[in-house]
A and B are shown apart, each in its own frame.
Chain A
Amino acid sequence: MENKINTYKKITVKDLNLYYGKFRALISIELEVQENKITALIGPSGCGKSTLLRCLNRMNDLIHGVKITGNVFLDGTDIYNAALEVAALRKRVGMVFQRPNPFPLTIYENVTYGLKVAGMHNKKKMDAIVENSLKRAWLWEQVKDKLDHPALGLSLDQQQRLCIARLLAVQPEVILMDEPCSSLDPIATMKIEDLMMELKKDYTIVIVTHNMQQASRVSDYTGYMLLGEMIEFDVTKNIFTRPSKKLTEDYISGKYG
């Protein structure tokens, strides 16, 4: 129930529909994401939770044959407005993917990637940002002596934290996480979860997970999705202790999915 009042709606999704060709993958989605909170989207595979997440930074634009209706407001501006520049949006709304996907470059180059994309050349400034970002992702101590090593040589959870660091370097406002722990072991998962709790002080986080324990551990708000519909959205504690919908209860009690 913490902080239910006095919050700022960072993202508002209104009547969002998404079609893959004729198939309606998202059905009249309504969602409000609070600033500096962690919002979790849960549901069985194929329920549309990743698709919804990818609507928030327009990653679905990359897929041919996708049609979207409805609105997604970021700080009150519709991100599907034709005048909006997608690259600029994605600098504000960053994404961490299911499988760690560092570039086949050095650790240093991975962190500076977003900066170079934005046109930064100042080496001193970049050095400082690299150190700061890696520290915030709790990776600095492990990699500070091998910044020029290939990023693909890191362990999986280090790679995932590198991907987070590379995102922090561009100072996004919102971080979208698409099952960020699904390829990690439990200890690495815990590290990422702790990191998320730390990061929400400065960032707004939306996470997709099929791990209900994870959602209940880290998130402040949880949305349960099924077959493209948002069945229930509430404070996490309510969803897991006294869901108002039968469908939600079935899912969290393990009767379904």
Chain B
Amino acid sequence: MKLISEKGVQRILMLTAFSAISALLLIALFILSEGLPFIFKYGLKDFLFSSEWQPNLGKFGIFAMIVASLWVTFGAMIVGAPLGVACAFFLSEYVPRYIMRIIKPTIELLAAIPSVVYGFIGVMVLAPIIRDNFGGPGLSLLSASIILGIMILPTIISISIDSILAVPQSYREGSLALGATIWQTITMVTIKASKSGIIASIILGLGRAIGETMAVIMVAGNSVNIPHSALDSVRTLTANIALEMSYATGLHRQALFATGVVLFVVIIILNSIASVAIRKRMVKK
């Protein structure tokens, strides 16, 4: 009796595990089957490297949006990575552990705020500040970078703290016992020993930033052009799909799926790099 129920449990669990994997496979298949034919028909080069996006004229070049996505993501990293890593080091090295254990989950709550709320704050608070102080439309590459930079903070902080805490305490003691200050210990030992985890946290943050849609639509301005300054309005790949999918048909619709394929590939590459970095850390320990 016990044996049968054990087998039953195993089968049910296997089914659930399999359903998660098959969902991923189905999504991938679906996007690829909708997107790839378009890329073959339209030509990969024209699709990726032309910045003329005029669906009504049958022109589907996403270069401007690729550039915008990369700039927004890069900007988010410039904002989020130094803040996040510095915060992680402060919480793990300077603050008593019990305070860190209260603050870390609080920071992780940032990830629970819906992205539309971030977008709302961007539109209502950030964009006017930028418009009034720096000029431009306000809804811009800069606003999107700042909002995204804040949104990726919990990812960067949380994973960085985990990897910093994984550095053996004996390294810190050895360093302090040689007369080093905490700051010297961080820059000379801890950062080296936790490097791969910190890099992984930034890459995972990048993956989040490049895939974020709602907040970006709200604050980036969404005009299709290659940005010449941080104050220009831009449209990212994700925003493009979300904005146009509701009314797109035929070739236009396929072009949006093809945009999805590009995003998919970029994010898979980023995640693979991150997981290799994380695994390297595990092996080293």
A interface list, Cβ under 8 A from B: 57, 59, 62, 64, 87-88, 90-91, 94-95, 97, 99, 101-105, 113-114, 116-118, 163, 166-167, 170
Contact = CB atoms under 8 A, between A and B. Distances in A.
10 contacts: A57-B177, A88-B179, A91-B178, A94-B177, A97-B174, A101-B168, A104-B189, A114-B178, A167-B177, A170-B179
A116 B188 contact: yes
Contacts of A114: 178-180
A64 B99 CA distance: 11
B170 interface: yes
Contacts of A116: 188
Contacts of B11: none
A70 B242 CA distance: 69
B179 A87 contact: yes
A104 B177 contact: no
B178 A90 contact: yes
A246 to B, nearest CB: 37
Given A64-B98, A103-B171, A117 B180 contact: yes
Contact of A117 (B171, B172, B179, B193): B179
Contacts of B181: 87, 117
Interface of B: 96-98, 168, 170-181, 184, 188-189, 192-193
A164 to B, nearest CB: 12
A113 B170 contact: no
A101 B179 contact: no
B188 A117 contact: yes
Contact of B176 (A62, A118, A163): A62
Nearest to B177: A95
Contacts of B170: 97, 99, 101
Contacts of B189: 103-105
B176 A104 contact: no
Contact of A101 (B97, B173, B192): B173
Contact of A104 (B172, B180, B193): B193
Given A101-B168, A170-B178, 6 more contacts: A90-B176, A90-B179, A101-B171, A113-B180, A118-B179, A170-B179
B179 A91 contact: yes
- Nearest 10 CB-CB pairs, A to B? A91-B179, A101-B170, A114-B178, A95-B177, A117-B180, A101-B174, A90-B179, A64-B96, A87-B179, A103-B189
Nearest to B169: A62
Contacts of A88: 179
A70 B193 CA distance: 37
A88 B180 CA distance: 9
Given A64-B97, A87-B180, A87-B181, A113 B175 contact: yes
A144 to B, nearest CB: 22
B193 A90 contact: no
Contact of B178 (A99, A104, A105, A117): A117
Nearest to B167: A104
A90 B174 contact: no
A104 B171 contact: yes
